[in-house]
Amino acid sequence: MEVVTIKSKFLRNLFDQNTYVLKNENEAIIIDAGADVDDVEREVQGLNVLAILITHIHFDHVWNLEEYIKKFDTNIYISSGQENRFSNSRLNASFMLHNDFRIDMTNAKIKHYDGTLHLGSFDIEIIETPGHTKDGVSLLIDGNLFSGDTLFNGNIGRTDLDDSSEIEMAESLKKLKETEFDVLYPGHFKSCFREEALKTIESFLNY
């Protein structure tokens, strides 16, 4: 499996958001939807796009999702009961931009995470990791952990937003500490190996 990181050009990379394309033979999966659709399309050319997996519905992670829906005509996975985030600027955090960002999901094929996902040649373990947001998930795929805004290389996600919880964040970090993975692919900034990621977790759990 190949992992391609595509940086969102949104606001001149102010947020340094990562959109990931996972490729395996003639199949691909997209994780989050911040990057420009053209950049993603180039990566998945000739491949069967099996799904778009959203780590959490914050504006920077779904900034171009409407374009993706039109272009890729594939299933969109989110946590259950969270659709209102697409049209709520407090919950999708776009209030920070003084922007009433909303996505029209009328024609979207929405699916809800429910345990392990088997998509084509991809086995995906869904780890519920609330704390930064209620709907946060981390995705374990072939030894790679896609942690959204729960865990970064050297930091953790902020817990001062509308539906954040420091207590849930600590529980989620403990879960990730117990998770066997080789490489961390966070929702922002650079990836790192497990050892580095564990140091970050430890420093926050012991704080």
In terms of CB distance, is 50 or 130 closer to Zn ion? 130
Residue type, 106: T
Round to whole Å and give the CA distance between 4 and 18: 10
Query: Smaller CB distance to Zn ion: residue 100 or 123?
Result: 100
Q: 58 or 85, CB closer to Zn ion? A: 58
Q: How far is the CB of 59 from Zn ion (least distance, A)?
A: 8
Torsion of CA 6, 11, 16, 20, to 10 degrees: -20
Least distance (Å) from Zn ion to the CB of residue 171? 18
Minimum CB–partner distance for residue 182 and Zn ion (Å): 24
Residues forming contacts to Zn ion in the complex (CB under 5 A) are 58, 149
Nearer to Zn ion (CB atom), residue 31 or residue 44: 31
Closest distance to Zn ion from the beta carbon of 56 (Å): 6
Least distance from Zn ion to the Cβ atom of residue 89, Å = 14
Closer to Zn ion by Cβ: residue 27 or 149:
149
